[in-house]
Structure 1
Amino acid sequence: MATVLTVDDSPSIRQMIKVVLGPAGHTVVEAGDGAEGLAKAKAEPVNLVITDLNMPVMNGIEMIRQLRQVPSCTGVPILFLSTESDEGMKQQARSAGATGWITKPFKPEQLLAVVSKLIRT
């Protein structure tokens, strides 16, 4: 299927994403902050990035801006998964290059549906 990079400072959120996407056949690569996520995305090809917004070291928006500068990552869909639901923040994320947004807490079936849609396109 696809390789999904999940970037979140919460180990339990990363684990939940793995539990939802793993059985669907996806390989899930984990990173604990934006800097680590950027490094992993540069090191190995990914089909989708799921990132939190508020993280130590580098936040999700800054990571997206930098990812969009990496030739191998310019077309990779990026899904925000955050407790933030502010319209202004969503606009900032879109401007940075985010493809979509899911608000935490998420429903597993919702995450699967969005991931399937983003990976097909």
Structure 2
Amino acid sequence: MSVGQGLNRSMIEKAYELKQQIESIIFALPDCELYQLQSRMGKIIEVLPEQMALSFEKETKIAKIRGFIEIVGNLQECKDYLELLQKIKYTDYSEVISKIDNITENLMVNSGSLN
């Protein structure tokens, strides 16, 4: 297995872990107060691992980079929602936010070197 394939698999595994964590956060939120937040985060995170796998499978570097940019935008939106929840004192999501930052950084740093 090449380094690129190992990185791909690692990133997809991280995306699945993040998906599970955010889904547990969504289910723990009260339905009546935060439905839109739950709905939007759910839509973002539901397709994250598949979206990442598809981006890694793209034929050209520019297509991969475009896919990664879309993923990073979605992750940033999810991060913004988590930060909002922190501000209104639901709980501390620093660990999940840190994972989002880590995935984002890995995608942006390595996107130009992936084949």
Same fold (TM over 0.5): no
- TM-score normalised according to structure 2 size: 0.29
More strand by share: 1
Give the structure, 1 or 2, with the largest relative contact order (CA under 8 Å, sep 6 or more). Answer: 2
